[in-house]
Copies of this chain bind each other. A is one copy, B any other.
Amino acid sequence: MSSRIDEANREALERVLKSRPVLKTIAIARDVIPGMDENTLLHAGPPITWDRMSGPVRGAVIGALLLEGRASTPEEAAELAASGKIRFDSCHHHQAVGPMAGLISPSMPVYVVENETYGNRAYATLNEGYGKVLRYGAYDEEVLNRLRWMANTMAPVLKAAIEAVGGIDLKAMMAQAIHMGDEGHNRNKAGSALFLRALAGAIARNAPDAETAAQVLEFMAGNELTFLNPVMAACKATMDAAHGIEGSTMVTAMARNGTDFGIRVSGLGDRWFTAPSKVPDGLYFPGFGPEHANPDVGDSTITETAGIGGFAMAAAPAIVQFIGGTPEMALEATHEMYEITLGENEAFGIPHLNFRGTPTGIDIRKVVETGIVPRINTGIAHKEPGIGQIGAGLVQPPMECFIQAVEAMAEALG
């Protein structure tokens, strides 16, 4: 049985390593995301109902309903959300991913990423920047106006620019960013600068006027998380290609909805293995502490699932200034992840480890055997809606998810 699993895992890992995610264009969610309709709202993590949603996810739902014109006050929006008329579903069920609350509503523009090796696609929204933003559950006029500007002004320009440059090879750009101190999850400073660099000329050429070009460029220049969302879609397109291989014990998704932490496994179909999401450990912004923190939330753990983020910490020592710890601990984090993964991604070489590839392909068996859970970098959301990010740090996925999955695999394989 072990050799049958090993063979399945070899194939699953190979599909991860051979994937080539390319950013093709930007489109409107309702036009491209399978199964998306006017009454659907997608959210991060495993499926969850309104009554169990945490503050920031509820805030983002309220904001999305206001944005869509389905309600005119937050109270109306909350009432509609609770009415049963809105279908909530996981981004992951629709080839999509979203950071933090991960809300995708029908009118939002999304990046369209294609895995050119296997032909599958993945989608992610455009990053809103810092502070009070929808993904942290904020929904005031400033937040909604920014989203409107992004949809009406920025997205068409970016779409034209992306198409004008013939798409962006995200895997190659991520590899460069890892050589430049990014880990691709909490730190996307280099990647965001490279992304801007790749598009700047085409943005100037394709904007309706100079002022619009300048505003789009300045918005991107001011947001070092610009590249996070394309990276997440790239990781999703990669891991989806490795999903559904019978007998494989490789994790293909880790995601949190702010209440539950869930994982999916290549050989275990569409089932989620869930347990309560924990509060991250990390550095808090002034005036905030763990008592204000929401349990961990977001689909951005797709980065760790694909072998970057916390797994590539050794490439990103400067991140410890943001999430706490020392550069030595960053090296150790990556070294530890080699113990629970199936292989290494040579495309993502870590310079300080002599270009050794990042640890890639979490094996649920190794997690349970070693007792080592995946290392996850994360942002920390305030537990009340409408406030936003209050820190950044590390979070431990619950071991129960991996134990459940191992048990399910044992059952499946008889």
Q: Which residue of B lies closest to A177 (CB)?
A: B180
Give A352 to B221 CA distance when docked, in angstroms: 26
Give A194 to B354 CA distance when docked, in angstroms: 26
Query: Given contacts A196-B197, A218-B201, are A351 and B210 in contact (CB under 8 A)?
Result: no
Whether A202 is near chain B, meaning CB under 8 Å from some CB there, is yes
Give A25 to B321 CA distance when docked, in angstroms: 33
Which residues of chain B come closer than 8 Å to A411, judged between CB atoms? none
Whether A215 is near chain B, meaning CB under 8 Å from some CB there, is yes
Q: How large is the interface on A (under 10, 10 to 19, 20 to 34, 35 or more residues)?
A: 35 or more
Of the candidates B176, B202, B328, B352, the one whose C-beta lies within 8 Å of that of A214 is: B202
Give A207 to B200 CA distance when docked, in angstroms: 13
Whether A190 is near chain B, meaning CB under 8 Å from some CB there, is yes
Whether A179 is near chain B, meaning CB under 8 Å from some CB there, is yes
Of the candidates B197, B200, B207, B215, the one whose C-beta lies within 8 Å of that of A210 is: B207
Give A327 to B354 CA distance when docked, in angstroms: 6
Whether A211 is near chain B, meaning CB under 8 Å from some CB there, is yes
| A205 contacts B214, C-beta separation under 8 Å | yes
Which residues of chain B come closer than 8 Å to A198, judged between CB atoms? 221
Whether A203 is near chain B, meaning CB under 8 Å from some CB there, is yes
Which residues of A from 173 to 219 have beta carbons under 8 Å from B? 176, 179-181, 189-190, 193-194, 196-198, 200-205, 207, 210-211, 213-215, 217-218
Which residues of chain B come closer than 8 Å to A321, judged between CB atoms? 355
Give A213 to B203 CA distance when docked, in angstroms: 10
B-contact bits for A128-163, CB 8 A (1 contact / 0 none): 000000000000000000000000000000000000
Whether A317 is near chain B, meaning CB under 8 Å from some CB there, is yes
Whether A36 is near chain B, meaning CB under 8 Å from some CB there, is no
Whether A117 is near chain B, meaning CB under 8 Å from some CB there, is no
Q: Which residue of B lies closest to A321 (CB)?
A: B355
Q: In the complex, what's the smallest C-beta–C-beta distance from A319 to chain B, in angstroms?
A: 9
Q: Which residue of B lies closest to A328 (CB)?
A: B354
Number of copies of this chain in the oligomer? 2
Of the candidates B180, B213, B354, the one whose C-beta lies within 8 Å of that of A180 is: B180
Q: Which residue of B lies closest to A201 (CB)?
A: B218
B-contact bits for A75-92, CB 8 A (1 contact / 0 none): 000000000000000000
Which residues of chain B come closer than 8 Å to A73, judged between CB atoms? none
Q: Which residue of B lies closest to A192 (CB)?
A: B197
Whether A318 is near chain B, meaning CB under 8 Å from some CB there, is yes
Which residues of chain B come closer than 8 Å to A204, judged between CB atoms? 203-204, 207, 210, 213-214, 217
Give A352 to B326 CA distance when docked, in angstroms: 9
Of the candidates B176, B181, B200, the one whose C-beta lies within 8 Å of that of A221 is: B200
Which residues of chain B come closer than 8 Å to A353, judged between CB atoms? 327
Q: In the complex, what's the smallest C-beta–C-beta distance from A180 to chain B, in angstroms?
A: 5
| B210 contacts A205, C-beta separation under 8 Å | yes
B-contact bits for A311-329, CB 8 A (1 contact / 0 none): 0000001101100001110
Which residues of chain B come closer than 8 Å to A213, judged between CB atoms? 201, 204-205, 210, 213
Which residues of chain B come closer than 8 Å to A201, judged between CB atoms? 213-215, 217-218, 221
Give A210 to B209 CA distance when docked, in angstroms: 8
Which residues of chain B come closer than 8 Å to A190, judged between CB atoms? 180-181, 190, 193
19 contacts between A and B (CB under 8 A): A180-B180, A181-B181, A181-B351, A190-B193, A193-B194, A196-B197, A196-B200, A197-B197, A197-B221, A201-B214, A201-B218, A204-B207, A205-B210, A213-B213, A317-B351, A320-B351, A327-B351, A327-B352, A328-B354
Q: Which 8 A-B pairs have the closest CB atoms?
A: A317-B351, A201-B218, A193-B193, A204-B213, A205-B214, A200-B217, A179-B318, A201-B217
